[in-house]
Amino acid sequence: MKRLSVSMDSGFSSPNGQCNATLLLRNIPCDTLLPADYSQMEKSNIVASGYWKRLSRKFMYEGALAISTLPHLLPKIFLLKMGAAMVFRNIAHMRHVQGPRLKDLGFELIPEHDSNVLSELNPYLISVIFALVALSPLFSSHAHPRDTFAMDTIMKLINMLCVGHILRFCTYISTSLPGPAPHCQPGAENYQDTISWGEVFTRQSTYNGDPNCGDLIFSGHMFQVTSYCAVIFGDMSKLIPHKVLARIVMCIMLVPWCIQPYLIISARNHYTVDVVVSTYLAPLVWFALEGFYRTTCCKNVTIWFSQFVPSYIRNYLRDYKPSLHSLKKVGLDKDVELPSVF
């Protein structure tokens, strides 16, 4: 057998026995003739072209996943936008009765400050961190081959918010407490005494113009920031395999999470019990949903919704599933399930 020698200095490849090592690393055949001044820029172009191809394939696959979730994603968005943000809160405002603040331990320990702006901005800050981590599978090489997709993380958050806001409505509509916020106290100038049933479906409350009262137990803002942390922390090993970097991201997310209770209580937007309930309820909802995703019921529901997805989208998700190509290399590509994000 003729021995093939590899030259690290060779500027060209030919059948005479010498082969450029760079070509072998790039899977370029050794009988390909290249000029002697094969430059570093040309080598970089090969690497760059492969990177952009992989990136485009990831975006296309995530886009197909997003389309496949539309049959159940749209109702969830409607629930959050129309129900949680409007109808549920307006019904709570209808039932609200002004009265003095209840005795509260947090109010005794934390002085009152006008921190409403910071209380509203803090969830946006942690949402930006969530988005950066959730979209990391698009730019990493380990996520997609291991069936870790950006849409999975996004849908887990949306599911948590939907379940959480349904539980929240059932909780604060059961017992109406006097709102501790200044705009809910007796004598507040911008308090709207009554609203009609027609306004329940059209009124959009704002803090400065038409503030809302009555939606207290439990805090929606605290539940939201805790949900961000629960989803990311739960899938951190899949999203960021580097342990040191993962711990840094977790610490960064914990900073606004720890600040949020202080901002809520100091602004007197909620009682302390509202914050406490949100803090332990969000992880419980996450655990419950993680268990539900593994049940036969979840798979059956996903299959039922998949019939509303165009067939070419389903075929694309099945045929171009990233982990499928890895399984084919070892002959284990049989009975591979279609990716499902519910």
pLDDT digits (tens), the chain, 342 positions: 444 444 444 443 444 444 444 444 444 454 444 454 445 554 455 455 677 777 888 888 888 888 888 888 999 999 999 999 899 999 999 998 889 999 999 999 999 887 677 777 888 889 999 999 999 888 887 777 777 888 989 999 999 999 999 999 999 999 999 999 888 888 888 888 888 888 889 888 876 667 888 899 999 999 999 999 999 999 888 888 888 999 999 999 999 999 999 999 998 899 999 999 999 999 999 999 999 988 888 888 888 888 888 888 888 887 777 755 444 443 434 444 444 556
User: Quick one: 132 and 264 in the same domain?
Assistant: yes
In a domain, 65, yes or no: yes
Number of domains forming the structure of the chain: 2
Same domain, 223 and 287: yes
Q: Are residues 16 and 119 in the same domain?
A: no
Which of these, 40, 2, 57, lies nearest to 317 by C-alpha position? 57
- Shared-domain flag, residues 14 and 136: no
Residues 150 and 27 in one domain: no
**Cis-peptide into 107, omega within 30 deg:** no
In a domain, 335, yes or no: no
Q: Is the pTM of this model over 0.85?
A: no
CA distance 167 to 165: 5
Contact 168, 274 (CB under 8 A): no
**In a domain? residue 334:** no
- Domain contains 339: no
Distance CA 239, CA 92 (A): 39
Q: Are residues 183 and 224 in the same domain?
A: yes
Question: Does residue 189 sit in the same domain as residue 91?
Answer: yes
Indicate whether 318 and 293 sit together in one domain.
Answer: yes
Provide CB contacts within 8 A for 123, sequence distance 6+. Answer: 221, 224, 225, 256, 260
Does residue 73 lie in a domain region?
yes
Per the domain annotation, does 257 fall within a domain? yes
Instruction: Please report whether residue 200 resides in a domain.
Output: yes
Q: How far apart are CA 134 and CA 157, in angstroms?
A: 10
Quick one: 199 and 265 in the same domain? yes
User: Does a structural domain hold residue 342?
Assistant: no
Same domain, 118 and 210: yes
The rounded distance, in Å, linking the Cα atoms of 235 and 32 is 45
User: CB–CB of 87/215 below 8 Å?
Assistant: no
Please check whether residues 24 and 118 belong to one and the same domain.
no
Helix (H, G, I), strand (E, B) or coil at 5: strand
Q: At what angle do helices 272-293 and 296-306 cross, to 10 degrees?
A: 80
Q: Are 58 and 138 in contact (CB under 8 A)?
A: yes
Helices (H), the chain: 21-25, 40-78, 88-95, 105-109, 116-134, 150-172, 197-200, 220-234, 236-239, 243-266, 272-293, 296-306, 311-319, 322-329
CB atoms closer than 10 angstroms to residue 196: 11
User: 57 and 33 in one domain?
Assistant: no
Range of the domain at 200: 53-329
Length of the chain: 342
